[in-house]
Amino acid sequence: MKTRTQKILAGLIVLAVAFLVWLPCLHLLFTRPAAHFRSLTGLSPVARQLAARHLQLWTDPSRLQAELDKMRASNAEWDFMGRSFLVWSLANLALRDPASKPLYLQTMDLIIGETLRLEKQEGMYHFLMPYARERHYLAQPAHSLFLDGEIALMLAARRMVEEKPEYKPLLTERVDAIVEHFRNSPHLLLESYPDEGWMFDHCVALDAIKLADCLDGSDHSALIHDWLAMARRKLTDPRTGLLISSFTADGITLDGPEGSSIWMVAHSLQLLDEDFARDQYERARKELGEITLGFGYAHEWPKSWKGQADVDSGPIIPGFEISAGSSGMAFIGAASFGDDRFLVPLAATLEFTGFPARSHGRLKYCASNQVGDAALLYAATLGPLWQKAKVQSKP
Amino acid sequence: MKNSLWKKLVGARRAEFLSARDLLQRAAAVSVLFLLAHLAGLREFTSALNGTTGSAAVDAKLGAFLAAVYILLYLAFVILVPVLVLAAAILAIGRRFIQKEKSSPANTL
């Protein structure tokens, strides 16, 4: 006859065994084939459902405003980036799903029109964090490459899907201004915030310039070449070989390599220099990407760099050092380079911890917000726009 | 009718600590609590994870509290409940095996 203590001890041992059996199996509840998140042609289920949710948001002004207000209370940049990622996604959606192209184009025009109106009416600070007002931009008149680059890429993406004559002068004006600022900058570095430039913004702006070249027959290949050569030389972290995230107008490092930046940078570089892009992705994958018990995630910083959690990194889960921002952006990297061995575990983590809510064919991740979901939609759809630009720019 | 339901509930409470039945009761309790939280729409409040509130109807502190409640119940549902069920299954199989051993002819001799 067993004593009570023996029975409890046996129960605890069995519980421990059950825990050890279940933990490695947990990911199986959330793991789906890569095609569930991203398909090579057409739309994956996740892309279709996320797109349906965003299209619904942009046709329901009160719902949209509520969503934007929630984000703006934390970070005005998210309002702007949510628009950018959605427009870039819609361009890829239109190329993947021609039957719904009119709806995608209509929504792109709505977002672009509304964004340009707000920029004109409220000024560039409307989409920037408050510290942008605390100092003067070194280059005057003040311009933020963050806004100029992303708006230019929105306009270019729209025109790559289908020409819209009204946007041609807007894109030319924006690109000419960026190019002029590059020419006037002694170090080829432009500010997004006062005396603060970002790798992410430079790469996006160069993508916009590259697309403008495709569309309008201009040639800025020398500028792009020189900038990339400068970045390799001056803006690379010597310990990891990864591009740093932010710097002063003189090229002094502010933030080293960061996951919230490098995954998108690697994707952007694909349009500018494929080999450099793949090199950066592989380094980021090695330094920042992790898979534990079938769940994928990413760190914000490599082991050799210490940083503080901020609005870009999102919350950092201690122990595993999981960064919400970096893990979200890692989808863009993994999708860009067809790295399904990382994408599938990342998607398992998203299903596990993103708290997906599906209804009426629409999907949102409750733990995310509009900008997060728009970035995921971009990861689920990217490819055709870059592909079209590469085909068009071949001599 | 009421009396028999009450008896069943009281009977359910009396399962021996860490017995298979006890583990299954705990799994059921966690599942019911999670289901209630889910049906009450608390999943929306997990947006607290990215620094935004799930609903304009509640303030940020209450939103964060509801998010924490939902996340704990969710983790308990997807991690703890399967562990409890698995452990209950192991205990039940083990007990049956031991009983078989005891009642086998070799042991009765």
| Domains, chain A | 32-386 (1.50.10.20)
Q: A61-74 and A76-96 are packed helices; what angle lies between their axes, rounded to 10 degrees? A: 130
Q: Would you list the DSSP string of A61-88?
A: HHHHHHHHHHHHHH-HHHHHHHHHHHHH
Interchain pair A314, B47: CB under 8 A: no
CB < 8 Å to A297, chain B: none
For A87, residues 6+ apart whose C-beta sits below 8 A from its C-beta are: A108, A111, A112, A154, A157, A158
CA angle, residues A316, A237, A265, in degrees to nearest 5: 65
Looking at residue A1, what is its pLDDT?
A: 55
Three-class secondary structure assignment of A103-119: HHHHHHHHHHHHHHHHH
Measure the CA angle with vertex B55, ends B54 and B58; round to 5°.
115
Chain B interface test: which of A6, A12, A15, A62 (most B C-beta within 10 Å) = A15
Three-state DSSP class for residue A52 = helix
Which has the higher per-residue pLDDT, B44 or B108? B44
Tokens of B102: 């005891």
> From the candidates A70, A295, A352, which should be mutated to test the interface with B, based on the most B CB atoms within 10 A?
A70
pLDDT at A2: 67
pLDDT for residue A149: 98
What's the burial of A116, exposed, middle or buried (CB within 10 Å: 0-12/13-18/19+)? middle
* pLDDT computed for residue A6 by the predictor: 86
Q: What pLDDT does A260 receive?
A: 94
- Check whether B100 has a pLDDT greater than 90: no
Check B52 against A369: CB less than 8 A apart: yes
Who wins on pLDDT, A274 or A75? A274
Q: Is the pLDDT of residue A148 over 90?
A: yes
Given a contact cutoff of 8 angstroms between Cβ atoms, the answer to whether A113 and A105 are in contact is no
pLDDT computed for residue B53 by the predictor: 67
Q: Nearest-CA residue of chain B relative to A19?
A: B83
Give CA–CA dist A239/A302, Å, rounded: 9
Is the ipTM of this structure higher than 0.95?
no
**pTM greater than the 0.95 cutoff:** no
Q: pLDDT per residue over A310-358, tens digit each?
A: 878 887 888 889 999 999 999 999 999 999 999 999 999 999 999 999 9
Instruction: Name which of A8, A355, A369 is nearest B17 (Cβ-Cβ).
Output: A8
Residue spans of the domains in chain B: they are 18-108
Rg of chain A on CA atoms, in Å: 22
Q: What is the mean pLDDT of residues A22-29?
A: 97
Size of interface A-B (CB pairs under 8 A): 81
**pLDDT at A82 exceeding the cut of 60:** yes
Specify the pLDDT at position A178.
98
pLDDT value at B107 more than 60: no
pLDDT, mean over chain B: 84
More confident residue, A82 or A65: A82
Mean local confidence (pLDDT), A169-181: 97
pLDDT of A101-132, one tens digit each? Answer: 999 999 999 999 999 999 999 999 999 999 99
Phi first, then psi, for residue A214 (nearest 5°) are: -60, -40
CB contact under 8 A, B90 and A8: no
pLDDT tier at A96, thresholds 50, 70, 90 = very high
Residue A395 has what pLDDT?
61
Rounded Cα gap, residues A172 and A72, in angstroms: 30
B41: contact with A, CB 8 A cutoff: no
Q: Using one digit for the tens of pLDDT, what is the confidence trace for A197-251?
A: 999 999 999 999 999 999 999 999 999 999 999 999 999 999 999 999 999 999 9
Rounded to whole angstroms, the Cα distance separating A366 from A368 reads 5
- pLDDT value at position A141? 92
Q: State the average pLDDT over residues A49-56.
A: 97
The pLDDT tens digits for B1-11 are: 556 665 565 45
